[in-house]
Amino acid sequence: MDWQAIGLSIRLAAATTAILLLVGAPIAYWLAFSRRPWKFLVEAVVAMPLVLPPSVLGFYLLIAMGPHSPFGVAYASITGGLLPFSFAGLLVASVLYSLPFTVQPLAAAFGAVDRRLIEASWCLGVSRVATFRRVIVPLARAGIAAGAVLSFAHTMGEFGVVLMVGGNIAGVTRTASISIYDQVQALDYDSAWRTSLALLAFSFVALAVTYALQRGALGARRWSLWQAN
């Protein structure tokens, strides 16, 4: 089994999830509470990675990050390097690719928070940001956890975008799923079996945790009711 690739995937997934929670939360907040008529356009853009072929997303990212694009030039002048075929480039691609997997559960969870609780907080003089932190986040924590787990799992398994943007450099951009592809190409079925099994088990655990989190919240409520009586 290619432990290096699995380690890299975990690192990438953890970093992607952390960034996505920070970037996704304000987007999800806006999607949950905005009443703008053109909100559907933003929703469509956020959801694009769900239906866009990974190679298409990867291709555009490759061009956007390349040495001839303004973004690539700006990045090179700051860091002295280029994004394609680097871990940082992979991270940018993963964040975009997994965006809907964070934003959608988050938006659903924020929107499910009783509106009056938010208003009650505002009327107590608590700012919008503080209300988000003190009321919305604690009440949406199951949804936030679900978004984090889904993003993590989705990043662990991504293939097309990674291959387009990151290539296949051992220890830098060769993730677990690319490693499996390599192993199959090399007819090393034993290794492919093991790595695939590891990812399969991981996917199952991730989804089980997601669903357990949602039921867990219910379980806690039931317990408290019982305690009160």
Partner 1 sequence: MAGELICRCSKRFASGFALATDWKAPLAMADGAATSTVLFGPSGSGKTTLLRLIAGLEVPDSGGIFFRGAEWFGQRTLPPQQRRAGFVFQDYALFPHLTAEQNVLFGARDPKRAVIFLSKFGLNDLRKYYPRQLSGGQQQRIALARALAAEPELLLLDEPLSALDALTRARTRQELRRTLQESGVPSIIVTHDRSEAIALGDWIGVLIDGEIRQSGPIREVFRRPSDPRVAESLGVENIIPAEVVSREAGLVTVAAGAVRLECVDVGENGSVLACFRGEDVVLTRAAARESSARNRIEGVVRSVLPEGPVARVEIDCGVPVVALVTAQSAAELDLRHGQPIAAVVKATSIHLLK
Given the rule CB under 8 A, which residues bind partner 1? 114, 116-117, 119-128, 134-135, 138-139, 221, 224-225, 227-228
Distance of closest approach, residue 202 Cβ to partner 1, in angstroms: 31
Distance of closest approach, residue 138 Cβ to partner 1, in angstroms: 5
Distance of closest approach, residue 227 Cβ to partner 1, in angstroms: 8
In order of 32, 212, 224, the CA distances from 220 in angstroms are 26, 12, 6
Q: How far apart are CA 50 and CA 131, in angstroms?
A: 31
Contacts of 4 (CB under 8 A, 6+ apart): 170, 171, 174
Q: In 3-state terms, the chain is what percent helix, strand and coil (to 5)?
A: 80, 0, 20
Looking at residue 189, its amino acid is: Y
Q: Which is nearer to partner 1, 77 or 224 (CB)?
A: 224
Tokens 């695939």 locate to 196
Looking at residue 36, its amino acid is: R
Q: Which is nearer to partner 1, 126 or 169 (CB)?
A: 126
Maximum distance among all Cα pairs of the chain, rounded to whole angstroms: 68
Q: Which is nearer to partner 1, 144 or 161 (CB)?
A: 144
Q: Which is nearer to partner 1, 109 or 156 (CB)?
A: 109
Distance of closest approach, residue 48 Cβ to partner 1, in angstroms: 30
Q: Which is nearer to partner 1, 76 or 139 (CB)?
A: 139
Tokens 């680097």 locate to 86
For 140, phi and psi rounded to 5 degrees? Answer: -105, 15
Residue 130: how many other CB atoms lie within 10 Å: 12
In this structure, the chain runs to a length of: 229
Tokens 């209300």 locate to 131
Distance of closest approach, residue 129 Cβ to partner 1, in angstroms: 11
Distance of closest approach, residue 127 Cβ to partner 1, in angstroms: 6
Q: Which is nearer to partner 1, 138 or 219 (CB)?
A: 138
Query: E-assigned strands of 38-102?
Result: none
